[in-house]
Copies of this chain bind each other. A is one copy, B any other.
């Protein structure tokens, strides 16, 4: 095992040993802040609540690159403490996404920052694993206009080192179907709201996914009923039923435009209330820095068939892309683990991204 591999492993284990379930990121933020203050100096670091903006290398008139990762994890059950078993490192967030944070930290401590031809920022942020509105990256971007000047933001969400372009937008809406209650022995005196909800759910079932091609990559738009509640008590014809619909829409439209489509589909069958309007992110497959990153040894390239904070950068005009070393299938799982050799490989990709070479557009 190389020095770097040892270091990545130890750093990741240390990060994983500090619990950081969403909303409780302070201790992990302190740890990262302390470590980078020692290695980079305090003047490089801006703390914002329990998030950090780290200006690792400041350059004017040079490409501005950001590596971005969230400090928080979902709350899951684990049968043992964070630990290493062979190639696997176990612990909440090991894959999603402390593996990415470990690369970010080791990278800025090992790169020759003075020789770097680009401006380099790291963003460590809170509350990614919750609702769009509570995610701290939003306020960070709102209050740091210099981040709107970035040329590329790489989100190190777990992707098995696969490069995943763009992000699907995501809308959640509550559809409320109204009927008229009656005694269930005389249902013809009422109007069963469950029948209306069921008919709409069937409409969604019969709706085909809609594939949208952008920059040669496919995004598949899907509309899914994910929650239904209606009726009760049990001897009453239900007068109300609620359905949560999640619409995942492709880049190229605003969330408001996609919501208008859902509203039109619902028509006058029900009342509708949006509860989440998360924008999509363009793939930017032709971007020169993204093209360069594709050539740095990534494990394939595809579109991102989910929402990530790449969309938030897109919304402020900053191309973003998803690329992280974590084992994607382990995200949010009980007894989450990540594969250490993928973390080492991931480090190599980022090392090559910043390394001087003939075709590196950073130079």
Contacts and interface: CB of A to CB of B under 8 A. Distances in A.
A195 B185 contact: no
B172 A224 contact: no
A309 to B, nearest CB: 15
A230 B244 CA distance: 10
A110 interface: no
A229 B228 contact: yes
A192 interface: yes
A225 B234 contact: no
A52 interface: no
Interface in A2-57: none
A201 B205 contact: no
Interface in A172-227: 172, 183-188, 192, 194-195, 197-199, 201-202, 205, 209, 222, 224-227
Nearest to A223: B187
Interface string A244-279: 101010000000000000000000000000000000
A247 B254 CA distance: 47
B209 A238 contact: no
A237 B222 CA distance: 11
Contacts of A305: 185-186
Given A187-B224, A244-B234, A246-B184, A199 B202 contact: yes
A224 B184 CA distance: 7
B229 A185 contact: no
* Centre residue among A198, A232, A244 by max chain B CB count within 10 A: A198
Contacts of A230: 227-228
A238 B222 contact: no
A237 B149 CA distance: 38
Contacts of A226: 184, 194, 231-238
A31 to B, nearest CB: 29
Interface of A: 168, 170, 172, 183-188, 192, 194-195, 197-199, 201-202, 205, 209, 222, 224-238, 241, 244, 246, 248, 305-307
Q: Name the 7 nearest CB pairs between A and B, nearest first.
A: A198-B201, A227-B231, A198-B198, A185-B306, A195-B205, A184-B246, A187-B224
